[in-house]
Structure 1
Amino acid sequence: MKKIFKLVSVAIIATMAMGVFVGCSSSSNSSSPSKKSDSKKIGMVVSTLNNPFFVTLKDGAEAKAKELGYELLVVDSQNDSSKELSNVQDLLQKGVSTIILNPVDSDAAQSSVSQANNEKIPVITVDRKSNGGDVICHIASDNVKGGEMAGNFIKEQLGGKGNIAELQGTTGASATRDRGTGFHNIVDADKNLKVVSSQPADFDRQKGLTVTENMLQSNPDIQAIFAQNDEMALGAVKALSTSGKKAVVVGFDGGDDAKKAVDSGELAATVAQQPDLMGSMAIENAKKILNGESVDKEIGADLKLYVKAK
């Protein structure tokens, strides 16, 4: 009997030990609950903060967030779509309630939007669209209209005849596509206007300078240049100055540096956006979404042509 009792005791102890082990194992393998979003915390992903336009966009959003009592977490994608996706993932981990996305590339942005969609976090895009995913609201200037404004101004300045060069923005960005579409709506319709060169310079001042230098070597008789943003336009102005050539240069954005260049006569005009207003509008609409209010799918910010005062 003693032997039988001893064997039963050992079996019971072993069974209890296994139960404890299984319980610990189950606990260690269980997935941790996802972080809950904070209704007062908003994430903002900016394509690059190495561009005055997007710095102003950020400043406008920060000012409005402070006014309305929201914490705004701003991250810089450094013109890298993979960095953008990583930024969105980090913000989701930090529990943001909404993501304001200024995409690097409209096609690649759908991965970032989908990440937020999976976590049921609403997305607002600003300035550039995402070509996929569920975006609640898009806030931007009418870039097609702005391109048309630039085309009409150049046509007027050239007297309806001349050779034109175009500096394109980042390939794949909706702003690049739309500004180019508007511009070509005007100049391609007139057989006396000829776009002799159209090349990307990635919305970058230094690249704008280098690309313009190459354009001038290949096409020395360029009378006008449309740059799809101010940074490239200012690069083009420097290239013209270095080469001793003159041309009508029109930028796009209406940044402070560009306005100063217009006032000094270096730049003919800039299609002026209001990035601070767009940033502010993004926060206002984020608040509406979080409060359960409806918002428009597309919201436009006014444009105007900035030229030297006479």
Structure 2
Amino acid sequence: MRKVLSLVLVLVLVLAVFAGCQPKQEEPAEGGAKVGLIVSTLNNPFFVTLKDGAEAKAAELGLELTVLDSENDSAKELARMEDLITKGVDVILINPTDSDAVGNAIKAANDAGIPVITLDRGANAGEVVTHIASDNVSGGKMAGEFIVEQLGGKGKVVELEGIAGTSAARDRGQGFNAALEGTDVEVVAKQVADFDRTKGLSVMENILQAQPEIDAVFAHNDEMALGAQKAVEASGRDILIVGFDATDDAVKAVGEGKMAATVAQQPSMIGSLGVEAAQSVINGEALDEFVPVDLMLVK
């Protein structure tokens, strides 16, 4: 009997040692590469969708993704970058609050030896591996050509600009104004509304009071376009409105005839491609300097 008990005890000990040598099932996930994503603001549906696309792709690839919100504040953006550097992430994706100011944050990552990828908005300083975004110049031109066509090549338009210093605002405005060249369509007012719906409303109210004749409005994003639409609706004037981003609210407004059109980006794809690019960097694969994401006009 004692021999049987001794054999059982030995067997239990052997099994225990063997089990202790086996890797835990959750370790591969915990040992996955770490990627950081800094978003300019999560108070905008476009960037929420971008974040969602990044999170879905990270889950698919088994990457650990940390998402931080800069709240449209360059100082907070730098602090978020420092947080990710401290966490020791392998790659950082960043959607800049300002293409100039973000340079300090990117340089901090450069100094720490962490590769950086920019999303939607580019950076004017610091070294980045690649930039993933829609062709904003092309999108602005698409909007301008649509307005010129709708107005028969003649009329007065308003341009609501995004946050000064962002590549998106600069490029969309560049493309839009290029489309008006050689036509009789005149920009009678151009004001910054910071990509914000409430500011779009207040800025447009002021422009409506100052400008007796307006045929169309081009807003650098849908949030400003939707704000402008409310101001125009309250004024009772008939003004064509074109936005940019094709957010759910804007597409609904186009369907209801409250907006004429919106340039459709694919924010979910921008986020997804960003994470794919991060995986490529981790794998040591080469990337193009710019990865364009297709656009289309929703009208």
Establish whether TM, by shorter chain, passes 0.5.
yes
Counterpart mapping for 1:64-75 below 5 A:
64-75=57-68
State the secondary structure of the residue aligned to 1:239.
helix
What is the root-mean-square deviation of aligned Cα atoms in Å? 0.8
CA distance in 1 between counterparts of 2:286 and 2:182 reads 40
Q: Does 1:95 align with 2:81?
A: no
State the secondary structure of the residue aligned to 1:96.
coil
Q: Which runs of 5+ in 2 are unaligned?
A: 1-30
Question: What residue is the counterpart of 2:7 in the other structure?
Answer: none
Counterpart mapping for 1:77-88 below 5 A:
77-88=70-81
Question: What residue is the counterpart of 2:36 in the other structure?
Answer: 43
Deviations 1:100-124 (A, max 9, x none): 0000000001101001000100000
Q: Does 1:175 align with 2:168?
A: yes
Letter in 2 for 1:110: G
Question: What residue is the counterpart of 1:219 in the other structure?
Answer: 211
Residues 39, 96 of structure 1: 8 Å contact kept: no
Consecutive aligned runs of 4 or more in structure 1 exceeding 6 Å deviation: none
CA distance in 2 between counterparts of 1:117 and 1:239 reads 45
Letter in 2 for 1:277: M
Q: Which of 280, 288, 291 is the aligned partner of 1:299?
A: 291
* 1:220 Cα deviation after fit: 2.1
Question: What residue is the counterpart of 2:236 in the other structure?
Answer: 244
* 1:39 Cα deviation after fit: 5.8
Counterpart mapping for 1:1-310 below 5 A:
40-190=33-183, 192-307=184-299
* 1:246 Cα deviation after fit: 1.5
CA distance in 2 between counterparts of 1:186 and 1:119 reads 43
Residues 88, 112 of structure 1: 8 Å contact kept: yes
CA distance in 1 between counterparts of 2:67 and 2:205 reads 36
Letter in 2 for 1:81: S
CA distance in 2 between counterparts of 1:132 and 1:85 reads 14
CA distance in 2 between counterparts of 1:61 and 1:112 reads 21
Residues 251, 262 of structure 2: 8 Å contact kept: yes
* 1:189 Cα deviation after fit: 2.9
Residues 254, 272 of structure 1: 8 Å contact kept: yes
CA distance in 1 between counterparts of 2:230 and 2:87 reads 43
CA distance in 1 between counterparts of 2:208 and 2:108 reads 44
Residues 39, 290 of structure 1: 8 Å contact kept: no
CA distance in 2 between counterparts of 1:44 and 1:115 reads 15
Residues 166, 227 of structure 1: 8 Å contact kept: yes
Give the TM-score normalised by the residue count of structure 1.
Answer: 0.86
Residues 188, 194 of structure 1: 8 Å contact kept: no
Question: What residue is the counterpart of 2:6 in the other structure?
Answer: none
State the secondary structure of the residue aligned to 2:90.
strand
Residues 163, 193 of structure 2: 8 Å contact kept: yes
State the secondary structure of the residue aligned to 2:242.
strand
CA distance in 2 between counterparts of 1:198 and 1:189 reads 19
Give the TM-score normalised by the residue count of structure 2.
Answer: 0.89
* 1:131 Cα deviation after fit: 0.3
* 1:187 Cα deviation after fit: 1.1
Q: Which has the larger radius of gyration?
A: 1
CA distance in 1 between counterparts of 2:130 and 2:49 reads 20
Residues 137, 299 of structure 1: 8 Å contact kept: yes
CA distance in 2 between counterparts of 1:174 and 1:212 reads 23
State the secondary structure of the residue aligned to 2:126.
coil
Residues 85, 112 of structure 1: 8 Å contact kept: yes
State the secondary structure of the residue aligned to 1:299.
strand
Deviations 1:236-279 (A, max 9, x none): 10000111111110000011110000000001000000000000
Q: Which runs of 5+ in 1 are unaligned?
A: 1-37
* 1:95 Cα deviation after fit: 1.3
Question: What residue is the counterpart of 1:24 in the other structure?
Answer: none
Letter in 2 for 1:146: G
State the secondary structure of the residue aligned to 1:55.
helix
